Amino acid sequence: MSSDNNHHRNSPSQYFQHSLELIAGELSTATGASPTLGQLLKHVGDTRKEATGDETPVHEVLVDVTEPRPIPFVLSFNNLTYSVKVPRKMTLPGFFRRRGGSAAADAAIVDNPLARDSYFTRTKTLLNDISGEARDGEILAVLGASGSAEFRLPRTLSKSKKKMRVQALIDQLGLRNAAKTVIGNEGHRGVSGGERRRVSIGIDIIHDPIILFLDEPTSGLDSTSAFMVVKVLQRIAQSGSSVVMSVHQPSYRILGLLDRLIFLSRGQTVYSGSPKTLPLYFSEFGYPIPENENKTEFALDLIRELEGSPGGTKSLVEFNKSWQSMKHTRDTEPDRVGLSLKEAISASISRGKLVPGATNDVNSTSMVPTFANPFWKEMVVLSNRSILNLRRMPELFGIRLAAVLVTGFILATVFWQLDNSPKGVQERLGFFAFAMSTTYYTCADALPVFLQERYIFMRETAYNAYRRLSYVISNALVTLPGLILLSFAFSMTTFWAVGLDGGLSGFLFYFLIMFASFWSGSSFVTFLSGVVPHVMLGYTIVVAVLAYFLLFSGFFINRDRIPGYWIWFHYLSLVKYPYEAVLQNEFENPAKCFVRGIQIFDNSPLGAVPPAMKVRLLQSLSNTLGMRITSSTCMTTGLDILKQEGITDLSKWNCLLITVAWGFLFRILFYFSLLLGSKNKRS
């Protein structure tokens, strides 16, 4: 048994005297076998049908109804203690506090034996030496003060049976009318709150789990929806599962569905037992529950009242210990046979439980794999889900494609058919710098993709629904077709319109370097989405970093002119390598001339003098140098331009490979960010 501290960023400190045991009781002689979830879906009507009279048929189920009496499992946890490290709040001196400020709170922290302080952090004990058990076929509710189909089902189940199980579960959860509705988010209205909660539960019970843990499944729901949710959980428990859930102030109807209760106060057990014995328990404690009052509300109110008293709930904790000892002495306990995990799993498989990743061979000595499906299956499912999401919202890619086409059209019309003059050279350099930076800036739309999926990803990987590596690779594969289309659209829009050199081979390399730029830019933004928690913060970082990349790419200042203490950033610039690659693709032809004769004066103050004067100046220069220079003499070739720009170290193919390698590097970093940043802390 474990716990997850969702309200703090610190990982759990440690467990103390922690034992967890799965035990089995003596075989019952009662007639009839406890139904599995499949049988329950066949024989028990929908909860909605009970309330509304809806006669929606339940889908056919898959499990044979004839099976031996199952072993009644008991999940027992003894002397469980759980604590976390939380940041210590820095408080001002007493004379700076407002009247009635935090002095009392500070004193309460000091007096609390469960909170151990250090200078910057304090240890908070959430569970303190609690014990209890969750029985097969029952719901255990923990009370206190308020404080995917394909991944979960085993691969041995055929695809058709998986679909049938999903459809049956949709009917059981009362979700048939919302079956084709997107769940939705803050900006998109989807299913209702109760339907969303039932979908969440359905993901957890689709594989007919042996043990099901739920954290406040009824919170935020109206009384009817909450009752329906717990009713479904009761049926799951009756199918042979142990259900453990936390609940806050259950209603009278919900209380009638619960089999066992554990009340906690500051991490300690103040009551553990059946709801039926709750009046007797508090009566013997000296606080009888009034006849017409909700038993759980009375108990919780009394616990809060005691927590505010000087002695706290210490008296109630001690009374519970004595009560439990007397109860165990009074009650006759059946003989129990301790089972190992392997034996429990084998027994569950024999009962028809769909243990993810397990084989049908009950005599197998191998343990159940960590993941229910192989690596390739996870990739296929994740890729299909991503493609489905893209198909549901085609406007996202459509807007990105439109942005690329509009940018390409503007660049094509601004830099239309550049000539081979010195001014044409400068305009080419400007076009390449803007085109390369545009490819990276248009990749920024990938930033919110993972940020929107973060909580789904963390939930699914916390349950080992799939491997993080499968998610990273499938994410990369799904993006490739879109990047190819964007690269081709931009290349077709600009290459011939601008008048770039190289013909068909030049166009193909231009397309490849554009694709590599989109790939590395998308990978870079994806990596940032794994380490940056907020969209606006991510956009700020993307814009700033890409601006630095452009600054040190070599366009604004040549590599030879960059100060030595900044040269490292030049080699880290993502824009540097595709920028140098397209320049080499354009100017690598040694036979192509860009400055002839009198054009040598065009970029100087002498460029304004009449052409006849330029010819005479050229003749004088020719005589001075002792060489014949005419108006048709080539003064600057493409190779000379590359030397002037400081592009001499790497070939264009090396630049292409390095750009692609950047993309793979950021995908690897994205994987490690998921491995560390979203690591399941429920040890």
Q: Check pLDDT > 70 for residue 680.
A: no
Instruction: Find which of 155-164, 490-499, 582-591, 629-638 is predicted with most confidence, using mean pLDDT.
Output: 490-499
User: 163 with 35: CB under 8 angstroms?
Assistant: no
Report the percentage of the chain scoring pLDDT > 70: 73
Query: 117: which DSSP letter?
Result: E
Backbone angles phi, psi at 337, to 5 degrees: -110, 120
pLDDT at residue 84, rounded to an integer? 78
Please give the helix or strand (H or E) that residue 367 lies within, else none: none
C-alpha closest to that of 520 among 665, 666, 663: 663
pLDDT at residue 351, rounded to an integer? 58
Give DSSP secondary structure letters for 70-86: PP-EEEEEEEEEEEEEE
User: 233 with 211: CB under 8 angstroms?
Assistant: no
Structure tokens at 284: 């013997």
Q: What is the mean pLDDT of residues 12-18?
A: 32
pLDDT in tens, 104-142: 334 333 344 444 455 567 787 778 888 877 777 778 887
Cα separation, 157 vs 284, in Å, equals: 53
User: 251 with 230: CB under 8 angstroms?
Assistant: no
C-alpha closest to that of 356 among 367, 365, 368: 368
Q: Check pLDDT > 70 for residue 443.
A: yes
Residue type, 390: L
Give DSSP secondary structure letters for 454-518: HHHHHHHHHTTSS-HHHHHHHHHHHHHHHHHHHHHHHHHHHHHHHT-SSHHHHHHHHHHHHHHHH
Confidence of residue 367 (pLDDT cuts 50, 70, 90): low
Least confident of 173-177, 225-229, 327-331, 359-363: 359-363
Least confident of 183-192, 437-446, 484-493, 665-674: 183-192
Q: Check pLDDT > 90 for residue 483.
A: yes
pLDDT at residue 120, rounded to an integer? 65
Confidence of residue 489 (pLDDT cuts 50, 70, 90): very high
Backbone angles phi, psi at 265, to 5 degrees: -140, 110
Residue type, 247: V
Confidence of residue 148 (pLDDT cuts 50, 70, 90): low
pLDDT at residue 659, rounded to an integer? 96
pLDDT at residue 186, rounded to an integer? 57
CA distances to 157, 272, 635, 682 from 216, in Å: 31, 18, 79, 17
Cα separation, 485 vs 507, in Å, equals: 15
pLDDT at residue 415, rounded to an integer? 94
User: 69 with 28: CB under 8 angstroms?
Assistant: yes
Cα separation, 404 vs 398, in Å, equals: 10
pLDDT at residue 29, rounded to an integer? 29
The SS3 call for residue 288 is coil
The b-or-e profile of 323-344 (16+ CB within 10 A means b, else e) is bbeeeeeeeeeeeeeebeeeeb
Cα separation, 160 vs 166, in Å, equals: 10
Which residue is it, tokens 């400055």? 595
Confidence of residue 523 (pLDDT cuts 50, 70, 90): very high
Q: What is the mean pLDDT of residues 508-528?
A: 95
Query: 10: which DSSP letter?
Result: S
pLDDT in tens, 335-357: 455 566 566 666 665 555 555 54
Q: What is the mean pLDDT of residues 373-390?
A: 86
Residue type, 235: R
Cα separation, 285 vs 462, in Å, equals: 41
Q: Which residue has the higher pLDDT, 476 or 333?
A: 476
Q: What is the mean pLDDT of residues 87-116?
A: 44
pLDDT at residue 25, rounded to an integer? 33
What's the chain's length in residues? 683
Average pLDDT, the chain: 76
Q: What is the mean pLDDT of residues 577-592?
A: 92
The SS3 call for residue 351 is coil
Q: What is the mean pLDDT of residues 506-519?
A: 96
Q: Check pLDDT > 80 for residue 57.
A: no
pLDDT at residue 354, rounded to an integer? 52
Cα separation, 396 vs 418, in Å, equals: 34
- Indicate if the alpha-carbon torsion angle 278, 282, 283, 287 is positive or negative: negative
pLDDT in tens, 170-189: 776 777 777 777 776 655 66
Q: Which residue has the higher pLDDT, 448 or 181?
A: 448
pLDDT at residue 4, rounded to an integer? 38
Largest CA distance in the chain: 122
Give DSSP secondary structure letters for 540-603: HHHHHHHHHHHHTSSSSS-GGGS-GGGHHHHHH-TTHHHHHHHHHHHH--TT-EEEEGGGGGTT
Instruction: Find which of 10-19, 207-216, 566-575 is predicted with most confidence, using mean pLDDT.
Output: 566-575
Residue 616, C-beta contacts closer than 8 angstroms, at least 6 positions apart: none
Least confident of 40-54, 260-274, 399-413, 663-677: 40-54
pLDDT at residue 1, rounded to an integer? 37
The SS3 call for residue 25 is strand
pLDDT at residue 407, rounded to an integer? 93
Surface-to-core class of residue 77, CB atoms within 10 Å of its CB (0-12 exposed, 13-18 middle, 19+ buried): middle
Structure tokens at 394: 């085609």
pLDDT at residue 37, rounded to an integer? 38
pLDDT at residue 224, rounded to an integer? 81
Query: 267: which DSSP letter?
Result: T
Residue 551, C-beta contacts closer than 8 angstroms, at least 6 positions apart: 557
C-alpha closest to that of 381 among 470, 498, 248: 470
Structure tokens at 467: 């491997």
Cα separation, 647 vs 581, in Å, equals: 9
User: 339 with 303: CB under 8 angstroms?
Assistant: no
C-alpha closest to that of 74 among 224, 245, 244: 244
141: left (phi over 0), alpha (psi -120 to 50) or beta: beta
Q: What is the mean pLDDT of residues 382-410?
A: 88
**Residues 103, 106, 107, 110, Cα dihedral to 10°:** -160
pLDDT in tens, 258-294: 888 898 888 888 898 888 888 999 999 999 988 888 8
pLDDT at residue 9, rounded to an integer? 36
Measured N-to-C along each axis, helices 576-587 and 422-441 cross at an angle, to the nearest 10 degrees, of: 140
Q: Which residue has the higher pLDDT, 678 or 565?
A: 565
Q: Check pLDDT > 90 for residue 605.
A: no
C-alpha closest to that of 410 among 487, 511, 498, 508: 498
- The domain locations on the chain are 136-207, 393-680
